[in-house]
Structure 1
Amino acid sequence: MEAEIALTVDGTRRSLSVDTRTTVLDALREHLGATSPKKGCDHGQCGACTVLVDGRRVTTCLSLAVAHDGAEITTAEGMADGRELHPMQRSFLDHDGFQCGYCTPGQVCSAVGMLAEAEAGWPSAVTDDLTAPVELDEAEIRERMSGNLCRCGAYSNIVAAIRENVR
């Protein structure tokens, strides 16, 4: 069964016809030509497919496109402002927060979403005081980013890149 949906991807509204079983990841990559979200595990375990959907981080391999009809999707490609990199992208470069780069777009999107969650006061499994403002120390960052795997092991540099963006 096909469905007509519209997604705003990186600021551009796009209409497409998809099988109702199509994931957001497959809609982005196969129908719309977006290459930054990667198909890693295809089971929601690695985070390589992470993008921001209406400002919240989402593993797109587990999300059906029809469930996000009308959504605004930001990929790592769409974070830059023209030729000016997003501060998180710049930090990943400055701190060598990648090696092979396969996971990097998902890591960057997840980091941006995670900072917004922390700023909103959302606790994590390692948050000590649930009534105090969230303090993003290394343990908090590692826990909040635990859904994004890096096979190369660039975690210390990824954490450093994220810490540079903590307000």
Structure 2
Amino acid sequence: MSHHTTPLIDFYRGEATDHQGRYIDAIWALSPFWLEHTHDYIQWLFPIPEVGRFNGFAPPLTVIERDAFKDDSALRERQRTSLDVMLSFLGLARDGFTITAQPGLNMREHIWLKAGGHNHLRISRMIRSLAHCHQQALALALQEAVVRIGSEQGIVSDASIQYWLSAHQ
């Protein structure tokens, strides 16, 4: 196992905090309300190579982190925990590589089923991050689930569906 260390890897291993002093386990335990209304944690849970205009506080995913995720199954497992936290927030559930709607999924409580919004960007980031962190099968499972469920049970815009379909590149 490689022992690369960067702020992102240390955060993911639970050995360091994000820019707000939060440990990953604390973020995993937060309420759906907090997850909805706080906008600076998803960049740490699901890093991507690009740095957004508004998220300069979060480290981008570099070759160093990608190699660490490739070499360290424990890091990939911890990212699967992050995925499960966000799936639960979105009204979804995972069994291995199968992602399905929870019985209570509805547009009132799970606003990602509506046409647009910041949760659509979060979902794109999650797909892209999983693919970049050597979890391609999970990236494709998430992509398939949100496209299917967003079309069947929601009124997700075509634009969002196209983003999700291209996110795993």
- The two structures have a TM-score, normalised by structure 1, of 0.33
Larger relative contact order (Cα-Cα within 8 Å, sequence gap ≥ 6): 1
**Larger proportion of helix:** 2
Give 1 or 2 for the bigger CA radius of gyration.
1
- The two structures have a TM-score, normalised by structure 2, of 0.32
